[in-house]
Amino acid sequence: MTLAENADLKFDREQAWKLLCEWTQTENLRKHAQAVEICVSAYGEAEADRLGLTGPERTRLLNLYSTTALLHDFDYERHPTPEEHPFVGVKELERQGWPQEMRTAILGHAQYSGVPRVTHLDKALFACDELAGFLTACALVKPTKKLAEVEVPGVRKKMKDKAFARGVSREDVIQGAAELGVDLDSHIAFCLQAMKSRAEELGL
């Protein structure tokens, strides 16, 4: 086993979840991290398929996508200001030795960081972050509070309602899909299906 492979084993989902829970006490923030993870991981699976990855290479890519998404906001509860988030968190990740690709993607998901989004992971994290939150909000206003009731046309309609989930940047959702090179409706449908397939984990 190479040094790099050995290092990767340390930085698995279990370690990421432990770090998230250590820094984040709020259930809603943890659920958001999980929702983003589900969407980003689905894009990771698709990317691994596109690249024809198998075995350890595929495992490493999927682990990277999963852990990056899970930790993208892990410092937010303690350091919510643009001056500190995600910079404080990224410094801690660097101190612990988490992968460079992860840290770059997390910096890039904040528009104000000035860090460009270059890789597929960078773009997937940015594209899924706001949308995962918006899809959660769409589910919570349904009578059953379940994702099963949420459909793409309804999501698009809610996006036009500025009073609904006003904390979610519609511009980031639209820009995210464009950067990924996917149609907006397709992007919404893809993330919605990913979240529906693991709705129980999200309590939705």
> Which contacts of 105-109 are long-range, i.e. CB under 8 A and separated by 24 or more positions?
105/68, 105/72, 106/68, 106/71, 106/72, 109/72
Span 99-109, pLDDT tens digits: 999 999 999 99
The whole-number pLDDT of residue 118 equals 97
The domain locations on the chain are: 3-202
pTM of the model: 0.93
Taking all residues of the chain, what is their mean pLDDT, rounded to a whole number? 94
Per-residue confidence band for 9, with pLDDT thresholds at 50, 70 and 90: low
pLDDT for 5 beyond 50: no
Span 56-78, pLDDT tens digits: 999 999 999 999 999 999 999 99
Distance CA 204, CA 189 (A): 16
The whole-number pLDDT of residue 6 equals 41
Average pLDDT over residues 125-147: 97
Q: Which two tokens stand for residue 29?
A: 């923030």
